[in-house]
Amino acid sequence: MAKDRKIDLVILGLLFHEDLTGYDIKKRIDGGISFFWKGSFGSIYPALADMEKSGYVEKRGVQTKGRREKILYHITDKGIDALKEWLNVEQAANDLKYETMLKLYFGGAQDKGTALKNIRYFEDQVKSDLAVLRVYQENLKKVMDQKDHIYYYLTVTFGIDTYEAYLKWCGRAKKILGGMEE
């Protein structure tokens, strides 16, 4: 398996539960984990092809019911082993890129109003993302007894907690900047 290609593990993790098409995988990523990990078709399809060649997944039920060809992928024992091995390694790369903070850090090159504008833009984004996460969390609460849902719940909670911290910071930052003489 590609050494540093984490999309492989995302795919294996999703296939652990059920067989999926590349298209399905994209939807699962967008719907459930996109606030902490992203993936595009251009990374998913090549990864699936590579992993099939090296035996981590296999094609199943190339169904054609009226529509175009549809390829379901199934995780193999080798794939399951790789997934479990990854989970057992404590090391995890959490790589954050906040362009908003970059702009704020260099805020001195512009006036205070520009910095405030950038904070407000960030705040709006966070608010709308947070609303989505809250709906998702409510839906999960109803099915918490189902296997694995506790893990989904924990990650969503992580998102909500951090986004709420962002909003609190936005409030404080605006106050501090607002009270500062230019």
Binding interface with a copy of itself (CB under 8 A): 6, 9-10, 13, 16-17, 32-33, 35-38, 80, 83-84, 86-88, 90-110, 114-115, 117-118, 121-122, 125, 147-148, 150-155, 157-158, 161-162, 164-166, 168-169, 172-173, 176-177, 180
Tell me, by CB under 7 A, how many residues bind DNA: 28
Question: Do residues 25 and 39 make contact, with C-beta atoms less than 8 angstroms apart?
Answer: yes
177 binds, among DNA, a copy of itself, none (CB under 5 to 8 A by kind): a copy of itself
Residues 6+ apart with CB under 8 A from 128: none
Using alpha carbons only, what angle is made at residue 124 by residues 123 and 130, rounded to the nearest 5 degrees?
85
Under rule CB under 7 A, residue 86 binds DNA: no
Residues 6+ apart with CB under 8 A from 60: 19, 72, 73, 74
Residues 6+ apart with CB under 8 A from 38: 29
Residues 6+ apart with CB under 8 A from 7: 39, 43, 44, 47
Q: Whole-number minimum distance, CB 75 to DNA, in Å?
A: 15
Could you give the CA distance from residue 43 to residue 7 in angstroms, rounded to a whole number? 7
Nearer residue to a copy of itself within complex by CB, 63 or 141: 141
Q: Which of 13, 19, 45, 162 binds DNA (CB under 7 A)?
A: 45
String of contacts with DNA for each residue 138-157, x by CB under 7 A:
--------------------
Q: Which of 16, 17, 18, 23 binds DNA (CB under 7 A)?
A: 23
**Which two tokens mark 94?**
């959490």
Of 16-24, 106-114, 123-131, 150-158, which part binds DNA (CB under 7 A)?
16-24
